[in-house]
């Protein structure tokens, strides 16, 4: 896949390394943003890091070139952003994917990756033998085809996707949500989601 990643920080770095290891072609708009170059040919755009950081790098990219593409929302709060406010309040005001829709009309948004601790992805990178337990990464979106493509990408980089459903349910994987900050196996994820739905 041809993928552009916008953002900085440990999560963006881990996704970049996993994607490169899986053979994907990356354009990473990190500390030195690349100019747009046939972005209409992109398969995925991934926003990873703080919202301020993503918006700063997005300012250096033609927003028109990213419209109508599949956008993975992996935006996370920094410690400073959470300082002084509850995680629930921050999630409801800063991590709502609506700001992406406003900046990129027609974007097919998938919320994913941000809820899993970065350490889980770096451990995966250091597992040369491939024997480490496979972690499950929850995702949510209103676009079935977009979720399918992101799920394929996840499997290719070595994690298992877990479809939570519509984007409205993404609050469970945002700060303050019951799945935030957890690296779970598929069985553990099934148990957690069953408990959330009252089936556990």
pLDDT bin (cut points 50, 70, 90) of residue 87 is very low
Domain-wise residue ranges, the chain:
2-197
The CA-CA-CA angle for residues 68, 138, 166, to 5°, reads: 55
What local confidence, expressed as pLDDT, does residue 93 receive? 44
For the stretch 1-21, pLDDT in tens is: 999 998 888 999 999 999 999
- Is it the case that residue 179 has pLDDT exceeding 80? yes
Query: pTM of the prediction?
Result: 0.84
Task: Give the C-alpha separation, 47 to 5, whole Å.
Answer: 6
- Is it the case that residue 132 has pLDDT exceeding 90? no
For the residues 62-80, what does the mean pLDDT come to?
A: 81
Domain 2-197 sits in CATH 3.40.50.1100: no
What local confidence, expressed as pLDDT, does residue 25 receive? 93
For residue 158, give the 3-state DSSP assignment.
Answer: coil
């Amino acid at each position: 896949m041809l993928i552009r990643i916008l953002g900085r920080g440990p999560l963006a770095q881990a996704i970049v390394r996993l994607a490169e290891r899986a053979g994907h072609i990356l354009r990473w708009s990190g500390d030195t943003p690349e100019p747009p170059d046939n972005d209409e040919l992109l398969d995925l755009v991934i926003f990873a890091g703080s919202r301020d950081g993503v918006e700063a790098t997005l300012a250096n990219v033609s927003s028109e070139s990213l419209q109508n593409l599949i956008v993975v929302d992996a935006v996370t709060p920094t410690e400073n952003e959470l300082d002084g406010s509850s995680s629930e309040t921050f999630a409801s005001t800063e991590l709502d994917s609506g700001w992406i829709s406003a900046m990129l009309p027609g974007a097919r948004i998938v919320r994913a990756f941000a809820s899993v601790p970065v350490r889980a992805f770096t451990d995966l990178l250091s597992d040369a033998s491939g024997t480490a337990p496979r972690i499950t990464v929850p995702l949510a979106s209103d676009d079935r085809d977009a979720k399918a493509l992101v799920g394929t990408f996840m499997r290719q980089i070595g994690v298992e996707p877990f479809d939570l459903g519509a984007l409205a349910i993404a609050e469970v994987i945002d700060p303050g949500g019951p799945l935030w900050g957890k690296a779970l196996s598929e069985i553990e994820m099934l148990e957690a989601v069953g408990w959330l739905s009252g089936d556990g």
